[in-house]
Amino acid sequence: MRVTINELKEMKQNKEKIPMLTAYDYITAKLVDEVGVPLILVGDSLGMVMLGYDSTIPVTIDEMLHHTKAVVRGTKKALVIGDMPFMTYHKSISDALHNAARFIQEGGAQAVKLEGGEIVAETVKRLTSCGIPVMGHIGLTPQSIYQLGGFKVQGKATQAAQRLIKDAQILEEAGAFSIVLECVPAPLSKLITQKVSIPTIGIGAGPDCDGQVQVISDILGLYTDFVPKHTKRYARLADEIKVAITDYVAEVKSVSFPTMKHSTSMDENTLSSLDK
């Protein structure tokens, strides 16, 4: 049985912190799920860490669905959330509903995430009224980096902070089951968390959110091109992988791998008959 959105609300009420991670493939999702992480986001961050794009903006819905299917196949308990990519929910509510339904029907996700506050409230309301759970996302919204002027902390000034509080409250009223707060000052995140009854999930938003989300590649030390301030490396797998590959190459060249231990033998009589 998978985690439900009602269970997440209960976790907030019980003051139980909610861990969340991204995953983009079957084996990673399987490991994350087996550990017991209740929320897995198939983030459009896969554009950078899996596909090599400069930002999340080039990511297509077909690419997202491809990875979402793999993550769903690797999980049994976690609630899997599909990240709706750039311009898949902006043109019209009808267009957003069609694309969100693809994540549920084709991708097998149990919820979708979209960026924005008041501007997407009517879309959130429509999706949730049709039975599609929606996670909101405010603060630094990566799909709007050209408008924001880059990856910058949001909500530092009074007016901007008030805007974020209002956005969070409007998203809750529209039916969102949770809200990601990205790169929001910690005191403001705490205030928003207190003002809404749905869980807040922080990333670079301080310790007082109801939960935290991180990009799996960052905490494992797999993606080393850029390390955000808000992340912590719990492993350095990129270094370990390089060592392992270097050892493999050396052993192949020196003919110390494979050995007969890694090979299959053959009946000598059969072999001799082939040599006649």
Catalytic residues: 182
Question: Measured between alpha carbons, how far is 200 from 208 in angstroms, rounded to an integer?
Answer: 9
Query: What's the 3-state SS for 14-50?
Result: CCCCEEEEECCCHHHHHHHHHHCCCEEEECCCHHHHC
- 3-state SS assignment for residue 113: strand
Q: CA of 79: how far to CAs of 13, 137, 202, 244, 252, in Å?
A: 19, 17, 17, 33, 43
Phi, psi of 176 (to 5 degrees): -60, 140
* ∠ CA 148-116-230, rounded to 5°: 60
Tell me how far apart the alpha carbons of residues 130 and 174 are, in angstroms, rounded to a whole number.
12
Write out the two tokens for 93: 């509510």
